[in-house]
Amino acid sequence: MAMLWLIPALTAYALATAGFVAGRAGTDGWLARAAAKLLAAGAALQSIDLIARGLQAGNIPVTNFAQSLIFLAWLTALAALFLIVRYRMPVVGAFAGPLVFIALGAAVALMRPGRIPMPVALNSAWLPIHVTLALLGYALFVMAAGVSVVYLVYERRLKAKRSLIGGDERGPSLEKLDRINYQLLGIGFLMLSLAIVTGAIWADATWGHYWSWEPRETWSLAIWILYAALLESRLTVGWRGRRAAALTIAVFTVLVGSFLGVSLIAPGKHGGTFG
């Protein structure tokens, strides 16, 4: 049952990635539209998988690192779909598609056969709240980095007086990309802040203290400070456009490194499950 819905979802994401990349290389929009539908199909299949495993576990299925990657891939796919539909930005699929495919593929490779019991400390009403807030924040940071990549590529092509990716002259303006980047950072930062607060409340109820400075907590605080500084630089110093996009990508690389490093090397009490 573990792979019943995940393998078809992984296949859909692979085809979506190919469609997004091919769509950006050509002038036809039908490939991007088909890729968006495949991305939605992958997310729908993952939804069924998450519901099935959640019912089996009796709580949100994020017991280990592989399961957290599955959940993160799902949230990132949903965030990408929102941008594609709401802002008509299929170009972000060329960034989000590969990341979703890699995350889910890694999770499938790392999954252990058989049912994974829910640890007593994790079987709490705080689990779905804390984990969803944390990983939703991460997913929004993924998309902020994707929008930043698009910004830098568009700006370079416009300065060189070259056509936009795939000849998409009706693509979002640089000003719109910068604004979307800021909105994603702001909402993602709010989600991460709430995740830290709910995690502290949960830790106090479970272990008797709000903060223990274990690796996950320390790095979560460090990431929070970096994104706070990034948002502050936009508000007070006025760093926008290319500089804001480059800083968004730089902070995102730190986020990826900390998430993978802590989860695989020193998960602590979190067990590599959430931020």
CB-based contact 16:39 (threshold 8 Å): yes
> Average pLDDT in the 222-233 region?
95
What pLDDT score does 29 carry?
A: 74
Q: What is the pLDDT of residues 131-143, one digit of tens each?
A: 999 999 999 999 9
Q: What is the pLDDT of residues 78-133, one digit of tens each?
A: 999 999 999 988 889 999 999 999 999 999 998 877 666 666 667 788 889 999 99
| Top-confidence residue, 263 or 69 | 69
For residues 267 and 259, give the distance between their C-alpha atoms in angstroms, rounded to a whole number.
Answer: 9
What pLDDT score does 160 carry?
A: 74
For residues 83 and 4, give the distance between their C-alpha atoms in angstroms, rounded to a whole number.
Answer: 29
What pLDDT score does 275 carry?
A: 40
Structure tokens at 25: 């290389």
What pLDDT score does 13 carry?
A: 97
Q: What is the pLDDT of residues 241-253, one digit of tens each?
A: 899 999 999 999 9
Residue 6 above 90 pLDDT? yes
Q: What is the pLDDT of residues 28-48, one digit of tens each?
A: 578 888 999 999 999 999 999
Q: What is the pTM of this model?
A: 0.89
CB-based contact 49:70 (threshold 8 Å): yes
Q: What is the pLDDT of residues 197-219, one digit of tens each?
A: 999 998 888 777 788 878 888 89
What pLDDT score does 215 carry?
A: 81
> Which of 46-50, 65-69, 245-249, 258-262 is predicted least confidently?
258-262
> Which of 71-85, 155-169, 192-206 is predicted least confidently?
155-169
Q: How confident is the model at residue 228 (pLDDT cuts 50, 70, 90)?
A: very high
What pLDDT score does 89 carry?
A: 87
What pLDDT score does 274 carry?
A: 42
Q: Is 20 exposed, middle or buried (0-12, 13-18, 19+ CB in 10 A)?
A: buried
Question: How many CB atoms lie under 10 A from the CB of residue 32?
Answer: 25
Count of alpha carbons within 13 angstroms of residue 243, beta-carbon side: 8
DSSP 2-55: TTTTHHHHHHHHHHHHHHHHHHHHSS-SHHHHHHHHHHHHHHHHHHHHHHHHHH
Residue 27 above 70 pLDDT? no
Residue 149 above 70 pLDDT? yes
